[in-house]
Structure 1
Amino acid sequence: MKRQLTHDDIRAAVYGGAVLGGGGGGFVERGLRTAELALQVGTPELWTGDEFAPDDLTATVALVGAPAAPDPQVLPTHLLRALELLRRDLPRPLVAIHTNENGAETTINGWFHSAMTGLPVIDLACNGRAHPSSVMGAMGLHHEDDYRSSQGYAGGKPYAYVEGSVSGRLEATSNVVRRASTEAGGWVGVARNPVEVGYAMKNGAPGAIAFAIELGRRFLAEGPDGAARQLGGEIVASGTVREYRCEQREGLDVGVAVLDDAAGTTLHFVNEYMALDLADGSRRAAFPDLITTFDADGAPLASADVAVGKEVSVLVAPAANIPLSTTMYMPEVYAPVEELLGFGFAPGAKVLADA
Structure 2
Amino acid sequence: MANIKLDKKIVEYAVYGGAILGGGGGGWIEDGLQIGRLALDIGQPKLQTVDELQEEDLLVTASLVGAPAAKEKFVKPIHYARAFDILSQKIGKPIHGIITNENGAATTVNGWFQSAVTGLPVIDIPCNGRAHPTGSMGSLNLSEQTDYISYQAAVGGKGANYIELSVSGSLDKASTIIRKASIEAGGLVAVARNPVSVAYAKENGAAGAIQQAIQVGEALLNHTGEAAIDAVVRKLGGKVVTEGTVTEFILETAGGFDVGKVTIDGTYELTVWNEYMTIEKNGERFGTFPDLIMTLDARTAEPIVSAAIKKGQHIAVITVPKEKLILSSTMRNEKLMKPIEEIIKKPILEYIF
- For the aligned pair, the TM-score class normalised by the smaller chain equals over 0.9
Is this contact kept in 1: 2:16–2:105, CA < 8 A? yes
Runs of 4+ in 1 over 4 A off after TM superposition: 347-350
User: Compared with structure 1, are the counterparts of its residues 104 and 228 closer, same or farther at alpha carbon in structure 2 (3 Å cutoff)?
Assistant: same
Partner of 1:353: none
User: Compared with structure 1, are the counterparts of its residues 142 and 50 closer, same or farther at alpha carbon in structure 2 (3 Å cutoff)?
Assistant: same
CA-to-aligned-CA distance 1:263-320 (integer Å, 9 cap, x gap): x1100010100000112x1111100000000024210000001011111110001000
SS of equivalent to 1:174: helix
In structure 2, give the amino acid aligned to 1:345: I
User: Compared with structure 1, are the counterparts of its residues 205 and 243 closer, same or farther at alpha carbon in structure 2 (3 Å cutoff)?
Assistant: same
Q: How does 1:127-276 map to 2 (within 5 A)?
A: 127-222=128-223, 223-260=228-265, 264-276=267-279
Unaligned runs of at least 5 residues, structure 2: none
TM-score by length of 1: 0.95
In structure 1, give the amino acid aligned to 2:239: E
CA distance in 2, matches of 1:3, 1:317: 26
The answer to whether residue 331 in structure 2 is matched with residue 323 in structure 1 is: no
Alpha-carbon RMSD: 1.2
Q: How does 1:31-180 map to 2 (within 5 A)?
A: 31-180=32-181
CA distance in 2, matches of 1:60, 1:10: 19
Is this contact kept in 2: 1:329–1:347, CA < 8 A? no
CA distance in 2, matches of 1:79, 1:71: 18
Deviation larger for 173-182 or 338-347: 338-347
Unaligned runs of at least 5 residues, structure 1: 351-355
CA-to-aligned-CA distance 1:68-118 (integer Å, 9 cap, x gap): 101111011111111111111114211111000000000000100000011
SS of equivalent to 2:220: helix
The answer to whether residue 16 in structure 2 is matched with residue 15 in structure 1 is: yes
Partner of 1:306: 309
CA distance in 1, matches of 2:332, 2:128: 12
Is this contact kept in 1: 2:288–2:351, CA < 8 A? no
CA distance in 1, matches of 2:341, 2:84: 31
CA distance in 1, matches of 2:166, 2:280: 40
SS of equivalent to 1:64: strand
CA positional deviation for 1:232: 0.5
CA distance in 2, matches of 1:72, 1:157: 9
CA distance in 2, matches of 1:337, 1:171: 16
Task: Indicate the percent of aligned positions where both proteins have the same amino acid.
Answer: 46
CA positional deviation for 1:51: 2.4
SS of equivalent to 1:49: coil
How many pairs does the alignment contain? 347
CA distance in 2, matches of 1:135, 1:349: 18
In structure 2, give the amino acid aligned to 1:295: D
